[in-house]
Structure 1
């Protein structure tokens, strides 16, 4: 009797890919579509595999939920360069004015699009709407093969390729592996890439709210004793609420009926948009910093929340991630133009050298702001209110903060 080795058969039939992305959320979808437009020196497109563990439901893209995110002006510009903004723009709401204040104190400042010669400071988009647009684009892109739902069970990097094993027993061989699989990244854990963590001791309560006064492009960042409270303008006169607070307070707030919740929100935010009329379903997430100081492995790079999961203050999470995606796209494009191996150490090392400074600065900024504006310690209260007041009187003092938060960091050198 002849016996066959099923693992040898699986190896011989392994799916071959130039780039495999793990995680089909915002970061993975945007990067897959961007890379799909590249061509090898022979004119052939890259072969891309996109793995996603979640189940597609009612046409929604996996990895997207009820939240809305603020896309900085620099992020929108990058999405436009990659040919993606035209599909997303109809679902977005421009931010023309940002008002920053400290509850119970006089310090406050504003940033307006006109100050920087922009039509908007950024755009707010619901992740569900963005997901449907990106999912449709992926389905129409012939050189992206999306496998969903699939469970990744093994990652074995090698000198020539990375071998991936799925729960079904299927195998994928890829020249470059990109992990966009979130804050609890399987790839990151499998490759034992270390991260540093900091628990902010806060949860974010998230909901869509309706106010008596139309937000009309106005966004608000309101600092309270428990943590920052942000309102972002949305379509149809709604606003997206991200309210950070201690965990025990979050439990209480989540247990309130709608009337009591709106009353508590009104007390914390004030009356700049009139009365809060209604709130949609509430969601609650614990807030912690997770950052990989060196987000590379052999033929592997971490992006998005797999590389850095930030506090939502100043809305920098996906905006920092978009700058990473843009830089990785150009690193791959430049490597192909030079005839280099896209997954090689020199290529990934150059990518990281170009991104390390911005990542470190943004992670430090969000952590510092979260801690500075989440307490009532006397000297800190005085210092932060003085800073807000000075920024309100001298626009030049807002420049460095605006430049970082709007996404106008050192530009990508185009090939």
Structure 2
């Protein structure tokens, strides 16, 4: 039976970045890890669920992690810098603004489009001789044994591995088979996603605009476009999806205002339900969950992939140290050490995004007054604002 050191189920952002990061590791004798990546979707980027029309915001610290993993140089040409962030509340006076120059960094973060990034990551995986991409393929079953984990695919192929990593999203097949305890919260909202063009150039500006039904975010993209994430109730989101382009832009203009001048064009819209879905203990015997398979967050603070990337970088570091120490990379000691070390960061980000989603999606007068006082105080207090800024950039 063929044996791999690591099998990664899922070749979306988290799985692909992890595969490439692990491919560069070496044992003390100089040998590399053998890695298999299993992906159910065919490598067709018009259909791949992990690399669809969405864009994601990379925090400044995420750029640093991608540099450490040797991946940033090829992603940088696809990234649009965020140099200015404005946070405001519709119908109220509270507002906070942050600039990269305040914190002596080239950018507060970056926006990347998933489709071209996915194409680049696939090309890099194909270039690595120690990565075997099995696509399209699905895991039919897996059996955890004391010294390895045995996997059978839907085409009957079977192989073993020292470690299985589930990077297969919040509908993770691996997680469902294990029936791991998780915490879930339905926010009662959907996110409407689209790319929009404005009469005024964005000039690297990102906007977070809070409304009674949920936040609206516009993030700077290439070619002068902005990436829209509009969070609203299920009913409102359904109605927004049914509008023609002109009516949709008019509705967005009313909610967002004229910070970018007139909104002149919108691309295809997509709608996603918003829930918190967090695995309480995202590691098991010879198995670990990363990315959305471990924790699916509300997009209000743009922290979902950034948190997943910190998981990926920490797992790669834990396996690097295990190799240096001559330890079994799938052992309980290695995985539990990684998992426990990640729990404080995961709990803090889950708590932060959940609190913000609940606080800034309510039109209750007391909550509205409180959050606007908070925004005003933050704008007036540099140290308070600095804490928020560095947290947004991924620094703790």
Larger Rg: 1
Q: Equivalent of 2:130, from 143, 155, 158?
A: 143
Query: What is the SS of the residue equivalent to 1:402?
Result: helix
Superposition pairs of residues 69-148 of structure 1, within 5 angstroms: 69-148=56-135
Q: Does residue 316 of the first structure (1) align with residue 299 of the second (2)?
A: no
- 1:71, distance to aligned residue in structure 2 (A): 0.3
Looking at structure 2, the residues matched to 193 and 139 of structure 1 have their Cα atoms a distance apart, in angstroms, of 33
Correspondence for 2:7 = 20
Correspondence for 2:24 = 37
Looking at structure 1, the residues matched to 45 and 165 of structure 2 have their Cα atoms a distance apart, in angstroms, of 27
CA pair 177-305 structure 1, distance change in 2 beyond 3 A = same
Deviations, residues 324-366 of structure 1 (Å, cap 9, x unaligned): 1110000000011011110111111111121100000000000
Q: Equivalent of 1:358, from 308, 325, 345?
A: 345
Correspondence for 2:292 = 305
Deviations, residues 5-27 of structure 1 (Å, cap 9, x unaligned): xxxxxxxxx32100000000000
Correspondence for 1:346 = 333
Looking at structure 1, the residues matched to 21 and 205 of structure 2 have their Cα atoms a distance apart, in angstroms, of 31
Correspondence for 1:288 = 275
Deviations, residues 72-123 of structure 1 (Å, cap 9, x unaligned): 0000111011110111110110000100000000001011111211010010
Q: Equivalent of 2:265, from 278, 296, 300?
A: 278
- 1:152, distance to aligned residue in structure 2 (A): 0.8
Looking at structure 1, the residues matched to 207 and 112 of structure 2 have their Cα atoms a distance apart, in angstroms, of 16
Q: Does residue 227 of the first structure (1) align with residue 206 of the second (2)?
A: no
TM-score (norm 2): 0.98
Of 382-391 and 396-405, deviating more is 396-405
- 1:155, distance to aligned residue in structure 2 (A): 1.6
Of 397-406 and 324-333, deviating more is 397-406
CA pair 271-371 structure 1, distance change in 2 beyond 3 A = same
Query: What is the SS of the residue equivalent to 1:41?
Result: coil
Query: What is the SS of the residue equivalent to 1:17?
Result: strand
Detail structure 1 runs of 4+ shifted over 4 Å in the superposition. Answer: 58-62
**Structure 2 residue ranges without an equivalent (≥5):** none
Looking at structure 2, the residues matched to 15 and 317 of structure 1 have their Cα atoms a distance apart, in angstroms, of 35
Is 1:155–1:191's contact at 8 Å kept on the other side of the alignment? no
Query: What is the SS of the residue equivalent to 1:248?
Result: helix
Looking at structure 2, the residues matched to 287 and 104 of structure 1 have their Cα atoms a distance apart, in angstroms, of 24
Is 1:175–1:343's contact at 8 Å kept on the other side of the alignment? yes
CA pair 242-85 structure 1, distance change in 2 beyond 3 A = same
Query: What is the SS of the residue equivalent to 1:261?
Result: helix
Is 2:45–2:51's contact at 8 Å kept on the other side of the alignment? no
Deviations, residues 39-96 of structure 1 (Å, cap 9, x unaligned): 1122111000000000112698772111000000000111011110111110110000
Query: What is the SS of the residue equivalent to 1:63?
Result: helix
Q: Does residue 160 of the first structure (1) align with residue 155 of the second (2)?
A: no
Q: CA RMSD in A?
A: 1.1
Looking at structure 2, the residues matched to 58 and 103 of structure 1 have their Cα atoms a distance apart, in angstroms, of 37
Number of residues of Structure 1 aligned to a counterpart in Structure 2: 396
Q: Equivalent of 1:253, from 240, 246, 258?
A: 240
Is 1:60–1:128's contact at 8 Å kept on the other side of the alignment? no
Looking at structure 1, the residues matched to 159 and 209 of structure 2 have their Cα atoms a distance apart, in angstroms, of 48
Q: Equivalent of 2:228, from 234, 241, 244?
A: 241
Looking at structure 1, the residues matched to 159 and 274 of structure 2 have their Cα atoms a distance apart, in angstroms, of 34
Query: What is the SS of the residue equivalent to 1:384?
Result: helix
**Structure 1 residue ranges without an equivalent (≥5):** 1-13, 410-415
Looking at structure 2, the residues matched to 60 and 123 of structure 1 have their Cα atoms a distance apart, in angstroms, of 25
Correspondence for 1:378 = 365
Q: Equivalent of 1:179, from 162, 166, 170?
A: 166
Of 397-406 and 284-293, deviating more is 397-406
Q: Does residue 63 of the first structure (1) align with residue 62 of the second (2)?
A: no
Is 1:60–1:132's contact at 8 Å kept on the other side of the alignment? no
Is 2:216–2:231's contact at 8 Å kept on the other side of the alignment? yes
